[in-house]
Amino acid sequence: MSVAPDAEEARVLPVVFFDGDCGLCHRTVRFLIARDPEGALFRFAPLDGETLAARIPAERRATLPDSVVVLEPDGELHIRSAAMISLLELLGGRFARRARWLRRLPRPLLDFGYDLLAAVRHRIWSRPPQACPVASPELRARFDP
């Protein structure tokens, strides 16, 4: 049985902000949870939630994409392809090897691909009907408002 980190421990984990209305973002969160069953790698929060408003200044929030954003404990913010690469690195193992390979590609090319996918994601991956399923208390504890 996993034990959710307390508030102090949670502040040292990267926060994955996601668009709750996006099926692809929802699947990304489920993918990360499945590979981090103990909750030792990530915290999660919606892009339109209190956590984002409290931790990121308004002028910076205005420039964020409406997809996955990663906030590192040191305050570094990853968006677009850099967010995906960051998540792969944090997962470690074969995912980190893929991240190292992706880092060799030009960032504008990666962001172009990311933007193309982001533009059609709502049409390809519809919002899951069970976007907010009943979750165990341990799993709910990994999400911030």
> At residue 55, what are phi and psi to the nearest 5 degrees?
-105, -15
CA separation for the pair 28, 87 (Å, rounded):
10
- Record the pTM: 0.79
pLDDT in tens, the chain (145 residues): 344 444 455 568 999 998 877 767 778 888 999 899 888 899 999 988 899 999 998 899 888 888 889 999 999 999 999 999 999 999 999 999 999 999 999 999 998 988 888 777 666 666 655 555 546 667 778 888 8
What stretches of the chain show up as alpha helix (H) in DSSP?
7-10, 23-35, 50-55, 58-61, 80-91, 93-103, 107-124, 137-140
Angle in degrees, 0-180, between the axes of helices 93-103 and 80-91, rounded to the nearest 10: 150
CA separation for the pair 113, 11 (Å, rounded):
32
Q: Identify the pLDDT of residue 2.
A: 40
Q: Identify the pLDDT of residue 126.
A: 62
CA separation for the pair 78, 87 (Å, rounded):
10
* Residue with tokens 């969160």, as numbered in its chain: 29
CA atoms within 13 A on the CB side of 82: 12
CA separation for the pair 95, 14 (Å, rounded):
17
